[in-house]
Structure 1
Amino acid sequence: MSKKDIELTGPLVLTVKERKKRAKRTSANWSAITLSLVIPILLLAVWSIVTFTELIPSYQLPSPIAVVETIVGLAQDGSLWSHLGITFSRVIIGSLIGTIIAVLLGSVVGFYSKAERLFDPIIQAFKSIPSLAWVPLFILWMGIGEPSKISLIAVGVFFPVYLNMVSGILNVDRKLIEVGKVYGLSHFELVRRIILPATFPSFFTGLRSGLGLGWMFVVAAELMGASQGLGYLLVIGQNSSSPDLIIASIFLFAVVGKCTDWLVKIVENKVLSWRDNSVIGG
Structure 2
Amino acid sequence: MTTTTPTALLAQAQEHQSQPVRRRRGLSPGRKLPASRLVGPALFLALWAAASAAGQLDPAAIPAPWTVLRTAGRLWSAGTLPTDILTSLERAAYGFTIGLAAGVVLALAAGLSRVGEALIDGTVNLNRAIPTLGLIPLFILWLGIGEAFKIAIIAIVVYVPIYLNTHSALSGIDNRFVELAEVQGLSRFRFIRQIVIPGALPGFFVGLRLGVTGSWLGLVVLEQINATSGLGYMMFQAQNYGQSDVILVGLLVYGIFGLVSDSAVRLIERRVLSWRRTLSS
* Structure-1-length-normalised TM-score: 0.84
Residue of structure 2 equivalent to 1:32? 34
> Counterparts in 2 of 1:73-84, with a 5 A limit?
73-84=74-85
Q: 2:190 and 2:34 mapped to 1: Cα distance? A: 39
Q: 2:174 and 2:43 mapped to 1: Cα distance? A: 44
Q: Give yes or no for contact 1:83–1:229 (8 Å, CA) kept in 2.
A: yes
Residue of structure 1 equivalent to 2:3? none
> Counterparts in 2 of 1:13-28, with a 5 A limit?
none
**Aligned: 1:85 with 2:86:** yes
Q: Give yes or no for contact 1:150–1:221 (8 Å, CA) kept in 2.
A: no
Q: 1:238 and 1:129 mapped to 2: Cα distance? A: 29
Residue 145 of structure 1, CA deviation: 1.2
Residue 279 of structure 1, CA deviation: 4.7
Q: 2:196 and 2:40 mapped to 1: Cα distance? A: 39
Residue of structure 2 equivalent to 1:155? 156
Q: Which amino acid aligns with 2:41?
A: P
Residue 122 of structure 1, CA deviation: 2.4
Residue 135 of structure 1, CA deviation: 1.3
Q: Per residue, is there more helix in 1 or in 2?
A: 1
Residue 103 of structure 1, CA deviation: 0.9
Q: 2:121 and 2:41 mapped to 1: Cα distance? A: 40
Say if 1:279 and 1:101 are closer, same or farther in 2 by CA, change over 3 A: closer
* Structure-2-length-normalised TM-score: 0.85
User: Which digits, 9 at most, give the CA deviation of each residue in 1:61-83, with x for residues without a partner?
Assistant: 10001100111111111221111
Q: Percent identity?
A: 34
Give the length in aligned residue pairs. 251
Q: Give yes or no for contact 2:133–2:153 (8 Å, CA) kept in 1.
A: no
1:37 match: secondary structure: helix
Q: Which amino acid aligns with 2:192?
A: V
User: Which digits, 9 at most, give the CA deviation of each residue in 1:191-212, with x for residues without a partner?
Assistant: 1111111111111110110110
Say if 1:82 and 1:202 are closer, same or farther in 2 by CA, change over 3 A: same
Residue of structure 2 equivalent to 1:222? 223
Q: 1:39 and 1:187 mapped to 2: Cα distance? A: 46
Residue 147 of structure 1, CA deviation: 0.7
User: Which digits, 9 at most, give the CA deviation of each residue in 1:67-126, with x for residues without a partner?
Assistant: 001111111112211111111111111011011111111111111223222322222121
Q: 1:38 and 1:133 mapped to 2: Cα distance? A: 36
Q: Give yes or no for contact 1:103–1:165 (8 Å, CA) kept in 2.
A: yes
Q: 2:245 and 2:238 mapped to 1: Cα distance? A: 8
Q: 1:264 and 1:128 mapped to 2: Cα distance? A: 26
Q: Give yes or no for contact 2:49–2:65 (8 Å, CA) kept in 1.
A: yes
Q: Which amino acid aligns with 1:256?
A: F
Q: Give yes or no for contact 1:215–1:257 (8 Å, CA) kept in 2.
A: yes
Q: 1:67 and 1:171 mapped to 2: Cα distance? A: 47
Q: 1:119 and 1:194 mapped to 2: Cα distance? A: 22
Q: 1:56 and 1:143 mapped to 2: Cα distance? A: 42
Q: 2:131 and 2:183 mapped to 1: Cα distance? A: 47
> Counterparts in 2 of 1:139-218, with a 5 A limit?
139-218=140-219
Residue of structure 1 equivalent to 2:96? 95
Q: 1:75 and 1:237 mapped to 2: Cα distance? A: 15
User: Which digits, 9 at most, give the CA deviation of each residue in 1:27-56, with x for residues without a partner?
Assistant: x78x421x3332222211211122222222
State which structure, 1 or 2, has the greater radius of gyration over its C-alpha atoms.
Answer: 2
Residue 274 of structure 1, CA deviation: 1.6
Q: 1:83 and 1:61 mapped to 2: Cα distance? A: 22
1:275 match: secondary structure: coil
Q: 2:280 and 2:212 mapped to 1: Cα distance? A: 25
2:268 match: secondary structure: helix
Q: 1:234 and 1:250 mapped to 2: Cα distance? A: 8
> Counterparts in 2 of 1:103-142, with a 5 A limit?
103-142=104-143
Q: Give yes or no for contact 1:106–1:166 (8 Å, CA) kept in 2.
A: yes
Q: 2:271 and 2:39 mapped to 1: Cα distance? A: 27
Q: 1:100 and 1:163 mapped to 2: Cα distance? A: 14
Consecutive aligned runs of 4 or more in structure 1 exceeding 6 Å deviation: none
Show structure 1 runs of 5+ residues with no match.
Answer: 1-27
Q: 1:42 and 1:69 mapped to 2: Cα distance? A: 21
Q: 1:66 and 1:96 mapped to 2: Cα distance? A: 36
Q: Give yes or no for contact 1:135–1:224 (8 Å, CA) kept in 2.
A: no
